[in-house]
């Protein structure tokens, strides 16, 4: 029954929103917080907000995978890399979604820089490739995304993000538009142990939750607990993380998250991050 419900949902979703090519977020840390990760200054900023990886002082690489609704046809994997360069940070990302009859890939390359104290901006160029069954044909496109991140003080972070602001279409069909999406969010560090994140968004020709919120609580320097909620559609999430530092600047982290969709069920998510 679950598989039948999913197939119906999947077909309706893609045919009613055929104009969209979704720019998925990534990283199990944000996933454990309801995907409210627009202000997270970590490896996965390459997918969540390109302005945020300008705050990373070291090279960082990460791998992420989620098994959406526990079905092999909806596996989603991503890789992210960032490195200081020319007074800012360069970011690279690759993601893959789907199975043999439907696959969507994203390649992203961007640059992020702190323009002045407490404020950064990032710009990223994306290439999308959608491969479908012969009846529908393949699609390709290039677009860009941009973000800003402001830190008025050590506790408050405010982020804004826009995807495909020029409302670009696919090369093969100029009438087939990708979504234009805007996200706004903030996070507040109540103490060294407790972080609260809030986020909202809007998409044209696409779909994005209208509200997301999450908390992160540090048990100690190594372990973190997380929980989150997204609305429209409703999805609950929770997660945990482990980080270990060794050497002068090396750091490795493991993050695990689970999300529960009100109709389609559970999605486990895992990411591994390494700073060096």
pLDDT band, very low/low/confident/very high, at 133 (cuts 50, 70, 90): confident
204 versus 41: which is more confidently predicted? 41
Q: How many CB atoms lie within 10 A of CB 144?
A: 17
Q: What is d(CA 93, CA 78) in angstroms, rounded to the nearest whole number?
A: 7
Q: How distant is the alpha carbon of residue 138 from its chain centre?
A: 24
Query: Per residue in 222-240, pLDDT tens?
Result: 999 999 999 877 999 999 9
Q: What is d(CA 249, CA 253) in angstroms, rounded to the nearest whole number?
A: 13
pLDDT at residue 207, as a whole number: 64
Whether 18 shows a pLDDT value over 60: the answer reads no
Whether 5 shows a pLDDT value over 50: the answer reads no
Q: What is d(CA 156, CA 266) in angstroms, rounded to the nearest whole number?
A: 32
Q: What is d(CA 104, CA 140) in angstroms, rounded to the nearest whole number?
A: 10
Whether 74 shows a pLDDT value over 80: the answer reads yes
Number of residues that make up the chain: 276
**pLDDT exceeding 90 applies to what percent of the chain?**
67
Whether 9 shows a pLDDT value over 60: the answer reads no
Q: What is d(CA 58, CA 77) in angstroms, rounded to the nearest whole number?
A: 23
Weakest-pLDDT range from 65-74, 105-114, 250-259: 65-74
Average pLDDT, the chain: 88
pLDDT band, very low/low/confident/very high, at 107 (cuts 50, 70, 90): very high
Residue range 150-175: mean pLDDT, rounded: 92
Domain boundaries, the chain: 2-275
**pLDDT exceeding 70 applies to what percent of the chain?**
90
CATH assignment, 2-275: 2.40.160.60
Phi/psi at 51 (5° precision): -75, -20
Q: What is d(CA 37, CA 250) in angstroms, rounded to the nearest whole number?
A: 23
Phi/psi at 98 (5° precision): 115, -160
pLDDT at residue 132, as a whole number: 84
């Amino acid at each position: 029954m679950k598989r039948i419900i999913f197939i119906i949902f999947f077909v309706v979703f893609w045919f009613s929103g055929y104009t969209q090519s979704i720019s998925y977020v990534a990283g199990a840390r944000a996933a454990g917080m309801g995907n409210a990760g627009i202000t997270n200054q970590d490896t996965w900023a390459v997918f969540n907000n390109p302005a945020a990886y300008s705050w990373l002082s070291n090279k960082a690489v990460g791998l992420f995978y989620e098994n959406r609704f526990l079905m092999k046809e909806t596996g989603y994997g991503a890789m992210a890399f960032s490195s200081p360069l020319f007074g800012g940070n360069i970011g690279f990302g690759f993601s893959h979604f789907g199975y043999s009859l439907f696959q969507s890939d994203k390649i992203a390359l961007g640059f992020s820089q702190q323009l002045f104290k407490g404020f950064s901006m990032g710009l990223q160029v994306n290439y999308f490739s959608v491969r479908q069954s012969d009846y529908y044909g393949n699609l390709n496109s290039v677009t860009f995304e941009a973000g800003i991140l402001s830190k008025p003080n050590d506790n408050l972070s405010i982020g804004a993000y826009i995807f495909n602001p020029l409302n670009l279409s696919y090369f093969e069909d100029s009438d087939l538009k990708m979504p234009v999406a805007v996200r706004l969010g903030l996070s507040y560090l109540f103490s060294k142990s407790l972080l609260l994140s809030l986020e909202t968004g809007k998409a044209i020709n696409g779909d994005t939750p209208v509200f997301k919120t999450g908390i992160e609580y540090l048990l100690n320097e190594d372990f973190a607990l997380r929980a989150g909620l997204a609305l429209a559609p409703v999805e609950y999430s929770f997660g945990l993380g482990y980080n270990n530092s060794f050497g002068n600047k090396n750091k490795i982290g493991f993050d695990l998250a689970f999300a529960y969709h009100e109709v389609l069920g559970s999605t486990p998510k895992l990411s591994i991050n390494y700073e060096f």
